[in-house]
Amino acid sequence: MAKVLEVRGLSYTYDDGTVALQGVDFHLDQGETVALLGPNGSGKTTFALHLNGLLSGNGEVTVCGLRVAKDTAVEVRRRIGMVFQDSDSQLFMPTVIDDVAFGLLNSGLSAVQAVERALAALERVGMRGAAARAPYHLSAGEKKRVAIAGVLAMEPEVLVLDEPTTFLDPPAQRELVGLLAGLPQAKIIVTHDIRLAGALCSRAAFFDAGKIVAEGTVADVVRQFKWD
């Protein structure tokens, strides 16, 4: 199966001397959904931020055949969509439709084209009826779906979601699982939520001290590390 993401020998040290990643190798196949598990501070989020060039360490990251670098950053970010833990960090415009269309307008689409694609993305996540609402009036679950719509509108080939069930109540978590399960993109899900990982992911990678120390099915990795 074709690889949409490949990481080789990725290492990263923060300015304060904290070693966050130590020679990480990883791949993601087309259509695959993989959970990144591990304790806080183990390197999962640092790893995710390298995938579209928000951080840049030593090693090689390739997304859809493009090596992540300064001169490829714009194209890479069209291919890989990031959904951050806190939806409020992604929603900052006066209305939902403005938020979802923001990236499209910045990519050069006309206002008509951007609104059309934004409405289609909102339809995909069940939020088209909220297009004219202010994001701060939405529930946490609704904000998460709008944030995902903003990413989907850019038509990425890979989705990276950081702790997507944070702040969501159980009904909203179930809705999110159903939404993500229906999306065709390959996905990386950084999570502590084993139920989410088990419901969506065919494989898990367990981070510890900046390294991937185990890979396998979610059940096998959870069993090995008693991660529950």
Position 77 in a domain:
yes
**Residue 87 identity (one-letter amino acid):** S
CATH number for the domain that contains residue 22: 3.40.50.300
d(CA 77, CA 162): 16
Instruction: Give me the number of domains the chain comprises.
Output: 1
- Which pTM does this prediction carry? 0.92
Position 49 in a domain:
yes
Report DSSP letters for 167-198, one per residue.
T--HHHHHHHHHHHHT--SEEEEE-S-HHHHH
Position 182 in a domain:
yes
Position 109 in a domain:
no
Strand order in the sheet with 19-29: 19-29, 3-13, 58-63, 66-67
What does the pLDDT profile of the chain (228 residues) look like in tens digits?
689 999 999 999 999 999 999 999 999 999 999 999 999 999 999 999 999 899 999 999 999 999 999 889 888 988 999 999 989 888 999 999 999 999 999 889 999 999 999 999 999 999 999 999 999 999 999 999 999 999 999 999 999 999 999 889 999 999 999 999 999 999 999 999 999 999 999 999 999 999 999 999 999 998 887 665
Position 96 in a domain:
no
Position 16 in a domain:
yes
Pairing, β 158-162 against β 186-190: parallel
Position 43 in a domain:
yes
Residue (of 46, 65, 76, 49) closest to 209 by Cα position:
46
Q: Which domain holds residue 64?
A: 3-90+157-225
Position 50 in a domain:
yes
